[in-house]
Each structure stands twice: as structure tokens, then as C-alpha cells.
DNA sequence: CCCGATTTGTGCGTATGTATC
DNA sequence: AGATACATACGCACAAATCGG
């Protein structure tokens, strides 16, 4: 299928940092409507598998999008699209 | 306001080592009362962004202050002012 | 009310690559 | 050539909040 694995979109060792690539991909999903306002993102553990990166990398990407006002994180519940 | 960027206080490539500068800054906050006894410091990840340095550098600074008896680290909970 | 599963928060140890001395 | 310092990234364990049975 054309919608290949998201892990394939991440270039390990590429010019751009891993967490930036993940943040870009999530941002694209929000902007394109794949992720709608109020929706809950997959858990950090799931995103770890989806993107093939470490949890710390996922968290770094999420932290950036929180600062950008695109996401909100609630401990014990999850991460949500603003 | 005093909440200016702490990263600006860190001189990359300066005469003093990065971890020493971070340790000095945290020590100053403790001595000045900005950080009171029992308070929890920002997480290592947060300090990483606050000071604009790597986590290993933050940990080096914290380790020094632990040896000096100014901080106590509790795994899974955080770092606290003695 | 308690208990367990889920999820985020935090710290621990390590590996690899780069830059500098 | 070797040592030191730093940045990025990986995996793991434990703590704490939330929710459901």
C-alpha cells in the first residue's frame, strides 16, 4: 500500500534530527485532518513502535508541539490534539 | 524580569566548563532562596532545555551538587533541594 | 474501596558521533 | 594519537496519575 509505514518516513542519521522529523509528521497529520481536535494520540509506547524511535525521542517531539500549542498532555490519560 | 533565559548565563566555549556553570547557577538559586529546601528541581529533560545543554552535562552538574550535599536524587521522582 | 491495567513523569546506564585540546 | 567534553539517541526501571472492574 501507498501509505507505507511511518517508520519509513524517519531518516536515521539524516540531516534533520529524529525528534524534528517525528514532530513534523505529527504536525502534518494534524494539519491534514488525520488527527482532529480533541483526539487522543497513540500512547508514547505505541508511537515508539510506529516511528521506530525511542520513547525519549517521541517525548521530545511531543514537548515541542505542546510548546507550539498543537498538543496537550495529561498525565495518566494521554496526549490530545488542541 | 528575572526569569530571563538561563541559557544566556551559560557560555559555550567559555573559560569554565558547561557543567560547572550549570552547577554554579543552581547553587546560586539555592543560596538566594529561589530554590528552597525540599523543593523539586525541574526534570533533567527540562533543565536540558532551560540551560541549552545536553543531559549528560546537567547530570554532571547535579552529581556534583549531590556530592556537595546540596541536592538529593530519587529515582522515578526527581531531584530535590536538601 | 481496593486492585490492576494503562499512560505519562522521571531518573539510570549506555552507545555513537563530533569537536577540541 | 589519545583524552576530554558535549550532543543525540537507545533501552530500561521505577513513580505517580487516571480509569475501569
Q: Quickly state the pLDDT bin for B3 (edges 50, 70, 90).
A: very low
pLDDT for residue A32 = 96
Asked whether residue A59's C-beta has any atom of DNA/RNA strand C within 7 A, the reply is yes
* Chain mean pLDDT for chain B: 91
Asked whether residue A75's C-beta has any atom of DNA/RNA strand D within 7 A, the reply is yes
Strands (E) in B41-81, as ranges, are 71-74, 78-81
Query: Could you tell me what percent of chain A has a pLDDT over 70?
Result: 95
How many residues make up chain B in this entry?
A: 82
A21-46 pLDDT, tens digit per residue, is: 999 999 999 999 999 999 999 999 99
- Please tell me the number of Cα atoms within 13 Å of B77 on its side-chain side: 9
Asked whether residue A77's C-beta has any atom of DNA/RNA strand C within 7 A, the reply is yes
> How many other C-beta atoms can be found within 10 angstroms of the C-beta atom of residue B64?
18
B27-47 pLDDT, tens digit per residue, is: 999 999 999 999 999 999 999
- pLDDT tops 50 at residue B80: yes
Q: Quickly state the pLDDT bin for B1 (edges 50, 70, 90).
A: low
pLDDT for residue A2 = 55
pLDDT for residue B82 = 93
- pLDDT tops 80 at residue A64: yes
B→A interface, C-beta within 8 Å: 45, 49
- pLDDT tops 90 at residue B4: no
Instruction: Judge whether A11 and A52 are in contact, CB under 8 Å.
Output: no
Measure the CA dihedral B7/B12/B17/B19, to 10°: 30
Residues of A whose CB is below 8 A from B45:
56, 59-60, 63
Closest CA to B72 of B39, B49, B34, B33: B39
| DSSP-derived 3-state class of residue B68 | coil
Cell of A10: 524517519
The residues of A between 44 and 63 with beta carbon within 7 Å of nucleic strand D are 48, 52-57, 60
**b/e map B46-55, b = 16+ CB within 10 Å:** ebbbbbbbee
Residue A7 DSSP symbol? G
pLDDT for residue A15 = 83
How many residues make up chain A in this entry?
A: 82
Amino acid at each position: 500500500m501507498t501509505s507505507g509505514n511511518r517508520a519509513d518516513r524517519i531518516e536515521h542519521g539524516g540531516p534533520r534530527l529524529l525528534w524534528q522529523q517525528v514532530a513534523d509528521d505529527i504536525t502534518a497529520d494534524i494539519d491534514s485532518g488525520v488527527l482532529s481536535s480533541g483526539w487522543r494520540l497513540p500512547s508514547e509506547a505505541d508511537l515508539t513502535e510506529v516511528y521506530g524511535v525511542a520513547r525519549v525521542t517521541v517525548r521530545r517531539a511531543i514537548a515541542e508541539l505542546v510548546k507550539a500549542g498543537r498538543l496537550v498532555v495529561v498525565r495518566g490519560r494521554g496526549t490530545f490534539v488542541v
